[in-house]
A and B are shown apart, each in its own frame.
Chain A
Amino acid sequence: MITGHLLSAADLSKDEALNLLATAKELAAITDGPNKKLPTLRGKTVVNLFFEDSTRTRISFETAAKRLSADVINFSAKGSSVSKGESLKDTAQTLQAMGADAVVIRHGSSGAAKRLADTQWIQAAVINAGDGTHEHPTQALLDAFTIKQHLRAKESDLSGVKVLIVGDILHSRVARSNILLLSKLGAEIVLVAPPTLLPVGIDKWPVKISYDLDSEIGECDVVMMLRIQLERMADSFFPTEREYSRRYGLNSARLAKLKKNSIVMHPGPMNRGLEISADSADDLKSVIVDQVKNGVAVRMAILYELLGGAPIGDSK
């Protein structure tokens, strides 16, 4: 059972993470039935506070909250008081006054969720839905759920699963959260990127580093492709998008090198033809659509545990 806030994948112990995944699995089973809705969070208010555009994460949280019968308020920065210069503090205090029980925050500044939780601006439970280039813990949880579902359904954790994370590690909150969570759950992690897109001091992380996708792709169980932002090219992190795609993109030749049971993941939204080719994205090995689906169940479990009653089932 997790309490308080969910700000970083590092906040979760291994048991807490596994229990959360178990709760998500039960909730997924219920919502797969004819009546998708549970009354659990009736009367609770969940605010989606999105300072950056993110349709998929917002919709996922909104669906999760609604399936638990919570009231949902969507607050996006564009066209709101934020674009008129209102500070995060004032926005938070406004939401506090309106009685928010949980705030799901997406913000361009690393640490914004942590600030919201640490200050007295608001009393609600804070869920980090992506803060700058720091973390995106709910994405890591849904990725762990998806990997477990496909590769370790019967086992207790992810021991022995070899995960390749490929692309812009430097700016990726998805990578940071996944490295923390998946390694805690027993997975072995290899990061593949050009040196320009790897952070300084990464040698101290619990990961292996490689600059060469071809030498790694045949060995892994999971290949997770990260979205590459085209503006990185203007900043000379790589020369051209074609060169990036050639050296670090998942194409049919590399897809063919994957082991038989390996899976392909992508946090979305994809740049088809850049970091991932269309045939790779749509291949049977791709579990990208499952990731989206599992995102709802995992986010239901998080809202449930942070706002709700006793955990479902007997996981604890």
Chain B
Amino acid sequence: MINISNAKLADGSVVDVEIDNDLISKVTKSSGTVSNGSIDATGQILLPGLVDLHTHLREPGREDAETVLTGSYAAAAGGYTAISSMANTYPVADTAGVVEQIYRLGKDAGLCDVNPIGAVTKGLSGEQLAELGAMADSIARVRIFSDDGKCVSDPLIMRRALEYVKTFNGIIAQHAQEPRLTINAQMNEGSVSSRIGLPGWPAIAEESIIARDILLAEHVQSRLHICHLTTAGGVELVRWAKKRGINVTAEVTPHHLLLTDELVENYDPIYKVNPPLRTEKDVMALREGLAEGVIDIVATDHAPHPEEDKDCEWQAAAFGMVGLETSLSVVIKTMIESKMLDWSQLVDRMSIRPAQIAGYKTQGQSIQAGSVANLLLLDPSASWQVDRSKLKSKSRNTPFHGMTLPGVISHVIYNGKQTVIAGRVLNMDGDKNG
């Protein structure tokens, strides 16, 4: 039994919450007193646990960068009670065997739901469909399929994938990147790339695929999800598609809500990411798209890399940034502080909507009696300085190092069990938990 006293909910009401086993058993108007043994949430906000639909965990294959366990530590620290591991592991998560392995590792870690995403094509080759049905029928019950890291660029393969997953209400999450327009591309194509001489990655390389796939999804009446939207033009396309009633959803990453390509100026590979950081105008369009609901959700694209893959020259470096532990704070900074979202809308974009899209039934539930107790408690008035050496992730490649961000998570409850207690992640070794 866990009791939480004096917690403010997203709608502004102040409540006491009682948790019995894995369920919320009682939510009552706050008595104003903090009973013995209960969590004092005075001044804090209680939200449903966050749900991420785009997480790279690197296991199996690159356990030096992240494992399911260390990724789960990072997820818990960031307020996530469910994450979705992308398929680009070694071996690729393109069979029932691999997705079941990841699913089991997630269960063993026990800090959040780890839901594997299956590859669309065998080996992410873009050529032949993976056994989508076998992954859907496995104990991992995969519903999201993605070749993320690579684009399903062949329109015929994309069409077939969209059609095929209809049998089990699956969804194809597309990494929209036209490969021929991005050969050797290193950063956003624009005035900065021209000045500093890095091969450019034009916005249209992303937008042309989004446009094509929206039309394909309409034609075959299936569900399309656009991963990490980064351009103003992409927001326009999704807005158009939704108006037309096409079944498309879209995500934006925290880093694309805050950072721009100007940061690449010094060639520090910490800012190297796929898709690339874009311009101020794109950032503003993404924030508006998220506020409006054209962009449905925030997804982290948490992409851990070992030190040597970032401590090098730009072109030799790997693409990607870790994001689970900074995600909520960055969204508060960009969307709550600017008053573009209120807390209920933030909960929608980071918990309710992602759970709906993925069909995670025990996640994103409202805070009321009978709901599964997946919760986070946050001090919205406190702030913290990001320190790369203190990340719970195994990797350190955060672009936010040194930045002071709003919102400090104090407690996280996953299926009725405390996974973060007073800022400390359950079961972590002493030195990593500092």
Listed in ascending order, the chain A residues whose CB lies under 8 Å from chain B are 87-89, 107-112, 114-115, 118-119, 131-135, 173, 176, 199-202, 204
Contacts and interface: CB of A to CB of B under 8 A. Distances in A.
Nearest to A203: B191
Q: How large is the interface on B (under 10, 10 to 19, 20 to 34, 35 or more residues)?
A: 20 to 34
7 contacts: A88-B313, A89-B311, A109-B313, A111-B198, A112-B313, A119-B311, A133-B199
A110 to B, nearest CB: 4
A200 B266 contact: no
Contacts of B208: none
A237 B194 CA distance: 16
A135 B197 contact: yes
B187 to A, nearest CB: 10
A253 to B, nearest CB: 32
B190 A201 contact: yes
B189 A111 contact: no
Top 10 A-B pairs, shortest CB-CB distance: A111-B267, A134-B197, A199-B194, A201-B191, A109-B315, A133-B197, A110-B197, A109-B313, A112-B313, A201-B194
B315 A114 contact: no
A87 B308 contact: yes
Nearest to B194: A199
Given A89-B311, A114-B267, A118-B266, A200 B316 contact: no
Contact of B313 (A115, A135, A173, A176): A115
Nearest to B192: A201
B366 interface: no
Contacts of B190: 200-201
Nearest to A198: B194
A114 B269 CA distance: 12
Interface string B309-325: 00111111000000000
A227 B197 CA distance: 17
Contacts of A89: 311-312
Contacts of A112: 267, 313-314
Contacts of A118: 266-268
B193 interface: yes
A230 B202 CA distance: 24
A115 B193 CA distance: 16
A259 B308 CA distance: 55
Nearest to A121: B311
A107 B194 contact: no
A187 B354 CA distance: 57
Contacts of A173: 197
